[in-house]
């Protein structure tokens, strides 16, 4: 008679443990691989989202550049007599003209400025703090400054109608409409017909409306009002300064890893206010499409517009940006890659080895988009 076996032999136990170890190791490897894959995909997704958001801000400003209501000629715009808006001092200087009313230079809806450093930028652009301007890598035209000027395309009338569904859309009295806008008294507005236009603070309009300067349709109804906007774009050295400061302070910003951030100065009343927009925008390049044949279509693109008069013929802008992942990946090495922002194998090549550590522990991707400057293109092609 054979005695029934009880328990496991040493050999069976070792085999079972070995199989269990292999299965556990395989499962652990799969979990690690899935986690790494998720992190990589998450980094690239966030880079794409940041790039799309940055393009949206820039595209909105460029598409509205040169829009002054119904005006067909930027030279026809003027300040309302007696309005304080005509004494605005914002971000101009002795070098960057006009030194006064820089944000209200209607005849130049778009312009870029190259080759600035934290040491030189505030002298020419008083609104940009030196500590907040990112120097960028040692390449040609690192992180240029882009300026756009124009009114919002959203009429004050319809802004109010959208908020109050039962309100009649006649919009016959702009003074009443303005009183319902936030901070209207110190907001700058534009009113224009095809031949002339005026710019004023909202607080001026009640008096202005009764004067000959106010613009109306032939039936006496007020012409629409548009909020005026001026933007100055640049790359900021950080997103969140350490200790809640207004200036980027250095290595302590953004929890110890400063994040280059697309920022802009926005015209608020008579002063420019800095607003950080999108994190991870490490480098940006603009190529300006100039229309020499007056047909509204760019004939060539250039990074350096030599003649100041050519800015009036910039009908499109090709924007290329280098976007950095939000998080450090200690297992990643970016040192072997080169980022050519123009795609010609020569122009604006970035290498992480030209930046302080841990620059090579971030993933990067180049994004590009061409934006039409609609109002300049339309006027040139008319």
HEC per residue, 301-361 = EECCCCCHHHHHHEEEEEEEEEEECCCCCCCCCCCCCCEECCCCCCCCEECHHHCCCCHHH
Which stretches within 151-252 are classed as H helix? 156-163, 174-179, 205-208
Residue 269 lies in a domain: yes
Residue 61 lies in a domain: yes
Question: Considering its fold, how many domains does the chain have in total?
Answer: 1
Residue 353 lies in a domain: no
Residue 193 lies in a domain: no
* Res 316: pLDDT: 95
For the record, the structure tokens of 202 come out as 């909202």
* Region of residue 171 (phi > 0: left; psi between -120 and 50: alpha; otherwise: beta): left
Q: What is the largest CA-CA distance in the chain?
A: 123
Question: CA-CA distance, 312 to 308, in Å (whole number)?
Answer: 8
* Res 277: pLDDT: 96
* Res 230: pLDDT: 93
* Res 369: pLDDT: 94
Question: CA-CA distance, 314 to 297, in Å (whole number)?
Answer: 9
Q: What is the pTM of this model?
A: 0.86
For the record, the structure tokens of 309 come out as 């008069």
Residue 248 lies in a domain: yes
Rounded to 5, what percent of the chain is helix, strand, coil? 30, 25, 45
Instruction: Report the candidate in 305, 308, 323, 330 with the shortest Cα–Cα distance to residue 96.
Output: 308
Q: Which domain holds residue 81?
A: 45-152+227-282
pLDDT averaged per 10 residues in sequence order, the chain, 382 residues: 62 75 75 61 86 96 93 85 72 88 91 92 93 83 90 71 53 71 86 89 85 81 87 94 88 90 90 93 93 90 88 94 88 86 73 83 92 90 64
Residue 13 lies in a domain: no
Residue 320 lies in a domain: no
* Res 180: pLDDT: 75
* Res 347: pLDDT: 65
Contacts of 34 (CB under 8 A, 6+ apart): none
Looking at the DSSP bridge assignments, the partners of residue 264 are 233, 275
Residue 16 lies in a domain: no
* Res 176: pLDDT: 72
How long is the chain? Answer: 382
* Res 318: pLDDT: 95
Could you tell me if 63 and 372 are in contact, meaning their C-beta atoms sit under 8 angstroms apart? yes
Instruction: Report the candidate in 375, 382, 377, 381 with the shortest Cα–Cα distance to residue 197.
Output: 375
């Amino acid at each position: 008679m054979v005695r029934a076996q009880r328990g496991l032999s040493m050999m069976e136990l070792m085999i079972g443990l070995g199989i269990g170890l292999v299965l556990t190791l395989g499962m652990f490897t799969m979990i690690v691989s899935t986690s790494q894959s998720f992190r990589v995909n998450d980094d690239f997704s966030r880079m794409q989202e940041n790039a799309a958001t940055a393009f949206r801000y820039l595209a909105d400003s460029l598409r509205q550049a040169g829009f002054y209501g119904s005006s067909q000629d930027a030279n026809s715009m003027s300040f309302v007599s007696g309005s304080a808006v005509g004494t605005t001092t914002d971000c101009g200087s002795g070098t960057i003209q006009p030194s006064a009313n820089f944000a209200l230079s209607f005849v130049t809806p778009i312009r870029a400025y190259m080759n600035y450093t934290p040491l030189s930028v505030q002298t020419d652009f008083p609104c940009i703090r030196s500590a907040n301007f990112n120097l960028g890598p040692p390449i040609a035209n690192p992180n240029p400054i882009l300026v756009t000027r124009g009114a919002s395309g959203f009429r004050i009338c319809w802004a109010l109608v959208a908020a109050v569904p039962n309100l009649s859309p006649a919009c016959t009295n702009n003074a009443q409409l303005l009183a319902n806008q936030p901070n209207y008294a110190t907001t700058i507005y534009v009113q224009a017909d095809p031949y002339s236009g005026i710019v004023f603070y909202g607080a001026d309009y009640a008096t202005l409306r009764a004067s000959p300067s106010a613009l109306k349709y032939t039936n006496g109804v007020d012409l629409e009002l548009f909020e005026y906007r001026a933007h100055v774009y640049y790359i900021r050295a950080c997103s969140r300064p350490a200790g809640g400061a207004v200036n980027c302070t250095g290595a302590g910003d953004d929890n110890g890893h400063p994040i280059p951030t697309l920022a802009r100065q926005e015209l608020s009343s008579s002063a420019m206010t800095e607003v950080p927009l999108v994190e991870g925008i490490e480098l940006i390049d603009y190529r300006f499409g100039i229309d020499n044949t007056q047909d509204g279509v760019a004939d060539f693109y250039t990074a350096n517009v030599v003649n100041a008069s050519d800015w009036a013929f910039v009908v499109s802008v090709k924007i290329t940006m280098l976007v950095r992942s939000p998080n450090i990946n200690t297992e990643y090495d970016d040192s072997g890659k080169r980022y050519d922002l123009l795609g010609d194998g020569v122009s604006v090549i970035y290498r992480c080895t030209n930046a302080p550590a841990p620059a090579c522990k971030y993933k990067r991707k180049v994004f590009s988009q061409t934006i039409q400057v609609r109002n300049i293109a339309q006027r040139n092609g008319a």
